[in-house]
Structure 1
Amino acid sequence: MPLVAALLLLWLPGCFTLTDSKEVRSPGWVSGPEGGSLMVQCHYDHGWETYVKWWCRGADWTFCRIMVRTTGSEDERRSGRMSIRDNHRDHMITVIMDSLGAADADTHWCGIEKEGDDLGAHVVVAVFQDISSPRGPEEVACLQGESLAVTCQYNRGWERNQKWWCQGMDWESCKIIVRTSGSERDNGRVSIRDRPENRTFTVTMENVTGEDRGTYWCGIERVEVDLGARVRVTISTAATAGPATARPRSLHEDMHILILFFLKVLTLLGLVSDVIWVNRPQRARAGAGGSSNCDSLQAPGPYYPPTRTGVTALG
C-alpha cells in the first residue's frame, strides 16, 4: 500500500508540482525493503561543487522538510538513519537511508542550497516487504582439523545490515558466535566477512573439531525479526571419511604424461635397433689382404674309402 501511495504522487497530475531543476538530475524512483536500506545518487552540473547539498522529504517543494545536509565539503554528514555525502570530482550527491520503514515511502528531493530559490530534483521512495531469508548450503562437511567456509547470499537492500552466524537447533535461542561490524570480524577460530558488492557473506571456521558439528544459522539483523537460513555442519575424521575422490588431471599434466610415453617408446625402439645391428650376419670383405667368399673355399683332399678290420684291400 505505501508503494501504491508513493506512485500515485507521480500519476495524479495537478495534486503537486514536481518541477525538477535542469542543473540537478535524479533517478526519479528508488525502492528498498522494509528494515533494509537504499541509496540515492543525484548528479549536478559543474560550478556547484562547494555549495551546500541537502535531502528533504515532501511532495510539495515549497514545504519539504530537510532531513540531512552537507556543509559544502566532501565530508559525510549523518542525521539519524540518513547520511549524505558530496563528491566534487564526480559532481554527485549520495544519500543513504537505513532501517527503512513503511512511513519512509514518500516523495523526496536532493537539492543545492543557493541564494534565491534552491535547485532540486525529486525522488519517489518506495518501501516493500521482503522476508526472504538468506540463501546458503543446507549441509556442509569437513574433516577434523581443517577449515570450513560457508557462503550465504542475500537480496538487494540488505547490504548495510549486520550479518551474523549462530549455533543451535532453535532459531530464537541460537547462540550468536560472530557478527559483522563493518565488512569483516574475527572471533577466535571463527570469522565473518560481508561483500556488499556481490551481496554475499562468508563464515570461516578454522581447525574444526568434533564439537563443531551441529546446526548453525547465517542471518541478517533487522529492526523487527531477523532473517536466517539453516546450515547443518558435519565433521568427520580421516578414518571415517569416505574414499577420496581423485583430482582430475589438467591438460598440462596430460600432455606431460603423453610426452614421457613417446620418449620411452623411442628409447625402447633405439635399444631394439642396437640389438638387431649387433647380431646381424657377418660377411668377409673382398680386397687387398683378403679374399672373397668363393676364394675362401678349400680344394677337396684325396679320397680315402673306408676300411673294415680283417679285410685286405685288393691291389
Structure 2
Amino acid sequence: PVSSTLYGPSFLAGGVGGSVTHQCFYSTTPANRHDRKYWCKVGRGGVCSTIISTTGYTSKDHQGRVALQDIPQNGTFIVTMAKLAKSDAGIYRCGIGSTNRDLFAYLNLTVSADAGTVGTTQLVQGELHGSIMVLCSPGDTQSSQKRFWCKVVRASCLLVADSHGYVAKSHQGRVSITPQGSSGASKILMNDLKKEDSGLYRCGTGRLNSWGSPQLVALQVTTASTLPRRPKFLTGTVGGSLPIKCHHDPKRSYEKKYLCRWKAGSCSLLLDLDGFVDESYKGRAQIGSSDQEPGTYTVVLSQLREEDAGWYWCGARSRHTEHTAPLKLLIQKG
C-alpha cells in the first residue's frame, strides 16, 4: 500500500550495532510540506507506536539513536536509526499527518549479524511532460549482463525496459536504456513524463528478481510545470518532406543537440548540429535555416519513405543532464 503521494523503499537491512537510513518521498503540496512527519513501528494489534516525529517527540527507548530530518523543498524526509538491535527488526511506517493512520508507506526492516551493503536512494525530479536522465552504477556484475529498469509496486518490481529490447506498453517511445562502455553502468532516459510515473524505481544488471544490490531511484514528477504540451504526432507523405521542430531551454548551454530514431528501447543518432548525418539519411536529412527562434532547431526530412514512420526523439545534452522529447511520425501514401 504505497500512496501515490508518499513512497519509499519497502525493504531495509541493517547489522547489529550498525545503523540504517530510510528516505520517504512525498509530493510537495503546501499541506504535505508543513504537516507533521513521523516514523512509527507496528506492534501487536496493528497499532503503530511513534518513535520520532517532527513535533520534537522521541520515544524513550530510542533517545540518542534516532533522528528525523525533513527537507520540504525536495519533498523528502530522512530517518536514521543507529545502535541497531535484533529487536528493532519489524514493520515500520513513515508518514505524514496528525495521527499515525494518515498518509503512510510501510517498510520491513531486517536486522542481522551481517547486513552486507545497503544502497542509498537517489532522488530525481522531473517536470510534467518533461524528461529525466538517470545514471545507473555498474554494481558488481559483468558488463555483458542485461540491464533493467523497473518500477517498485508493493513487494515486486514491474519491468519498464531492459537492454535486450523489451519496453513496457505504457512506455513505448518514451524510455531508453543505454549501456555505458564496458563498465556495466547504464544511462536511463525517460520523457513525456506523466503524474503516474512518480514512484520508486530500481535499475541494475542481471536477473530482475535477484535483489543483489540494485540502485534505488525515487522519481518525483512535479505538476506545477511551465513546460507546454507539444504535439507528439506528425504526418508526412511518401516522397514529400517534413520539418521537425525541436525545443530546448534557451537559457542552458548544450554540448550536443540531435535527432535520433527510437526503436525497442534505444535511440540511434540520425543527425546532430555538429554536422553528423547517419549514412541511411544522407541527402535527405538536414538542419533547417539558422534563422530560428531561441530554444529551437528544425530538422527537415525529405524524400520520405514508408519505413520512416515511427518514433523520433529531439535531444539536447550537457555535461550533467540530457533532455529528450518524443515525436511519432506517421507516413501516408501520396
Q: Do these two structures clear the TM 0.5 threshold for a shared fold by scoring above it?
A: no
Q: Which has the larger radius of gyration?
A: 1
* Structure number having the greater helix percentage: 1
* TM category, shorter: 0.3 to 0.5
TM-score, length of structure 1 as denominator length: 0.39
TM-score, length of structure 2 as denominator length: 0.37
* Structure number having the greater strand percentage: 2
